[in-house]
Amino acid sequence: MARRPLPRILSNGSDRIVRGRKLARSAADSATDVLHPLITITRGLRRLAAAGRLRWAGTPRDRRGPLLFLLTSIVLVVALLPFGPLLAALTLMAAAAWHGRDRTPSRPAGPDEAQTKRLESLYEALVPYFSVPEDPAPLFTHGGQWAKAFVSYAFDGTGRISQLTIRYPAYFTDGEAASRARIEQLLHTKSGRGREYRFEWDEEGNQLTVTALPPLPVDIAAQRFVTAPGETVLGFTDPAGVQRTLPVIAGGERRDVPPVVWRTGVRSTEPHLLAVGGPGSGTTTLLRSIALQVLQHGDVLIVEGGGTGEFACLTGRAGVLAVECDLTGALAGLEWAAHETERRLIAMNRARQAGQSPPDDTLRPLWLLLDRPTVLGQLAAAEGRRDPQSLLQVPLRHGRTAGVTVAVAEQFDGMESLIDPVRQHTRARVVLGPASAAQLEAVLGTRPPTTPTPDMPAGRGYARLGTGPMHRLQVPAAPDPYDEATSESHRQAVLSLLPERTAPADPEPADAPTEDRTVLTKGTKGTKVVAEG
């Protein structure tokens, strides 16, 4: 059977469409050029009419009559004069053309002298890295043309580079981390210190895009975030890093900001968290912010190894099982958490075998928040007792199924004391405060795509959930409300989120024996108090 030829509209229709679009575009441009004076006069008449309406609306009512009489008299005089209407029309058209002119300031065709010197200096600095003697036509040469290498560029109000796209030769080893790090360090130094830069490498196109990032907001305090159960806001990041925003109140106004949301639960791939930083970096504030959020839907057990009383505001609150600051209490609380995880697993397995839904006492999330547990491990080693971290193996391994989540905050000097289960099962990672590239890579698994600034505010760092992308992070301000250095606005913000008290928060007397303690334990029939000695 012979194949019928395609209609001409299908065979060469695309060419006709393209030619038609070009003709329409050229016709529109020609019409715009021809009608430009008419467009300018029309715009001017509209502006004059708007100005007249505003002037008339601003005139008091008792003066509108004399003003109207004066305008009518002027119109009559002009109408009676020889060539008066023609001169009035010409004057009106001239005024309309003047007011309707394009007032947009003309941009310079290229960079000014200072910007050109900055680009030339940056180009000369890149020559040793992007050129080899064997290249017959090098793109980067001393005294060469920087316009061929810099595809696009932009400057901020201070005259520093805010965006730059560099075209580099194909033989540059852009696949090696060391080569990239040298280029990024050079661009960071030459473009201006004190700012953060994002580097986007296009290996296929042999282009590098450098963008100066604005600082993250630091005025967002702890508050009720619009999240679903199982979602925890770690902080806030750049708009291009995530695909959602949250409404928050900051500085007395409401705005939408992009969050870094950590999802926990049965279907989570990163069920546990590890936060690392230096002194004063904000890791304790991060745990406090997490506790204030998860207390809406779950129970919290807090182990504070530093012994500074940073979580005293949570003592005796509804949903807070215990706040342990010493070794004995930490061992008792974590041992109960391990048994509770096993109990939940057994109860849920029996319910599944019987074809029933899991018991209600296994569905409420349980959170274990540990601040600097390695300090308690050192005390346990000195006293010949068990390391509290060893009791985390069961919650870490089976916590996702049992609804138990572990969040650990530690400083850089205590990273070596963390046991292997903590390192292996905490796939959600956060690094706060100043840190070197090696430290960031050791914790997050990769180098950051931006250059951290040396002076970082509290709660500022990076976050990475599993094998996902790395985000800049600013933790919401959730300081200790009992600290005298806390501002009144932040104190009230934290106190408004605290649950009601269910038990007195008075500390134990100093002479009380440490062997007799009470630990909250949960059985299949509810919560009970068990004495341990």
User: Could you tell me the domains of the chain?
Assistant: 113-213 (3.30.980), 231-532 (3.40.50.300)
**What pLDDT, on the 0 to 100 scale, is given for residue 285?**
95
* H, E, C per residue of 252-271: CEEEEECEEEEECCCCCCCC
Structure tokens that stand for 265 in this block: 């639960």
**What pLDDT, on the 0 to 100 scale, is given for residue 447?**
85
526 is in an annotated binding site: no
Task: Residue 414: name the closest of 310, 277, 272, 273 by CA.
Answer: 277
280 is in an annotated binding site: yes
**What pLDDT, on the 0 to 100 scale, is given for residue 369?**
96
Greatest Cα-to-Cα distance within the chain, rounded to the nearest angstrom: 115
pLDDT lower than 70: segments of the chain:
1-22, 27-29, 31-35, 102-110, 454, 503-533
**What pLDDT, on the 0 to 100 scale, is given for residue 519?**
42
Task: Residue 257: name the closest of 209, 214, 195 by CA.
Answer: 214
362 is in an annotated binding site: no
The dihedral built from the CA positions of residue 483, 304, 531 and 525, taken in this order, carries a sign that is: positive
Amino acid at 385: R
Phi, psi of 350 (to 5 degrees): -65, -40
Q: What own/partner pairs with CB < 8 Å and gap ≥ 24 does 349-357 have?
A: none
**What pLDDT, on the 0 to 100 scale, is given for residue 518?**
39
Residue 341 and residue 333: Cα distance in Å, rounded? 12
> 217 vs 30, 196, 236, 249, 256, CA distance in Å?
48, 14, 8, 12, 12
**What pLDDT, on the 0 to 100 scale, is given for residue 17?**
64
283 is in an annotated binding site: yes
Beta-sheet pairing, 404-411 with 273-277: parallel
Alpha helix (H) ranges present in 279-319? 283-294
* H, E, C per residue of 424-493: HHCCEEEEECCCCHHHHHHHHCCCCCECCCCCCCCCEEEEEECCCCEEEEECCECCCCCCCCCCHHHHHH
282 is in an annotated binding site: yes
Structure tokens that stand for 332 in this block: 């008792």
**What pLDDT, on the 0 to 100 scale, is given for residue 509?**
45
